[in-house]
Amino acid sequence: MARRKKIYEGKAKILYEGPEPGTIVQYFKDDATAFNAEKKDVIEGKGVLNNRLSEFFMTGLNTVGVPTHFLKRLNMREQLVRACEIVPLEVIVRNFAAGSLAKRLGLEEGTPLPRPIVEYCYKDDKLGDPLVTEEHIAAFGWASQQDMDDILSLSLRVNDYLSGLMYGVGIRLVDFKIEVGRVYDGDYQRLIVADEISPDSMRLWDIETGQKLDKDVFRRDLGSLTDAYTEVARRLGVMPKQATHVAKPKLIN
Ligand SMILES: Nc1ncnc2c1ncn2[C@@H]1O[C@H](COP(=O)(O)OP(=O)(O)OP(=O)(O)O)[C@@H](O)[C@H]1O
Ligand SMILES: [Mg+2]
């Protein structure tokens, strides 16, 4: 059997050439990194959970008319996605102050924001993904004005969808990050949600207790990351109800 071609290996995922032109296989690794990869570990089962959770969020978004790259899950760790030209920005949407925003503006973590705030970081690991303004994005041609309008509306729709979904299972969506990519349909280009949507790229707090259920558990050494992600999956109905404290995630189809 021919070996498939590896396109890219990042910190959390490996990309392989897909079976059809214009498709990619995304393999979710168990590696966890934080603080621009200064902190690293292997968290057994994380890749399986993120593959399944990203499938769940992206399928939901596709269903409500927010276009994403997701095509289908292939197995426990892999999903087939539409290949796109990634816009070199991390798009961050914040509903409550946390992380770098709390630090930058001297706000207490958890302070509700007057409205969702959308921030852009330039995707460059060597520079530590610096915060940039639309002025930089336009001047350096990373995205056009039309792209920026589309990115803003996409990211706010993702925010509304995910906030509502999480609220329904007693979780506060504090903030999240997405990546968007360009795809071409004939002469037209459009933007779709790409990469992954998982507790690696969101802040999720239990509404009642404030317990963190996202990658901050790893960043701040707050306990078992797989327990936290399993709890999110369980509440969303992605995992069986009794699976709260299983060592290894057990998936249902
Ligand atoms: N549909 C897609 N088409 C093409 N590239 C994609 C698609 N979805 C995600 N990617 C890219 O695949 C890579 C996923 O790997 P991973 O998340 O491990 O990268 P990373 O270590 O975070 O690095 P970086 O995002 O800085 O490249 C990212 O570079 C992401 O931008
Ligand atoms: Mg990444």
Q: What is the pLDDT of residues 172-196, one digit of tens each?
A: 999 999 999 999 988 999 999 999 9
Residues 144-164: tens digit of each pLDDT: 999 999 999 999 999 999 999
Q: What is the pLDDT, as a whole number, of residue 241?
A: 53
* Dist. CA 59–CA 238, nearest whole Å: 12
Closest CA to 229 of 194, 207, 210, 201: 201
What stretch of H or E contains 179? strand 171-185
Q: Where are the alpha helices (DSSP H) in 73-124?
A: 99-105
What atom of ligand 1 comes closest to residue 194's alpha carbon? Answer: 8
Mean pLDDT of 110-126: 97
Q: What is the pLDDT, as a whole number, of residue 200?
A: 98
Q: Tokens at residue 206, please?
A: 């239990």
Closest CA to 81 of 194, 183, 172: 194
In this prediction the pTM is: 0.93
Question: Is the CB of 81 inside a 6 Å radius of any atom of ligand 1?
Answer: yes
Residues composing the chain: 253
| Helix (H/G/I), strand (E/B), else coil: 121 | strand
- CA of residue 11 to ligand 2 center, whole Å: 6
Q: Tokens at residue 185, please?
A: 């349909």
Map out the domains of the chain with their CATH numbers. Answer: 6-84+224-235 (3.30.200.20), 85-206 (3.30.470.20)
Q: Chain-wide mean pLDDT for the chain?
A: 95
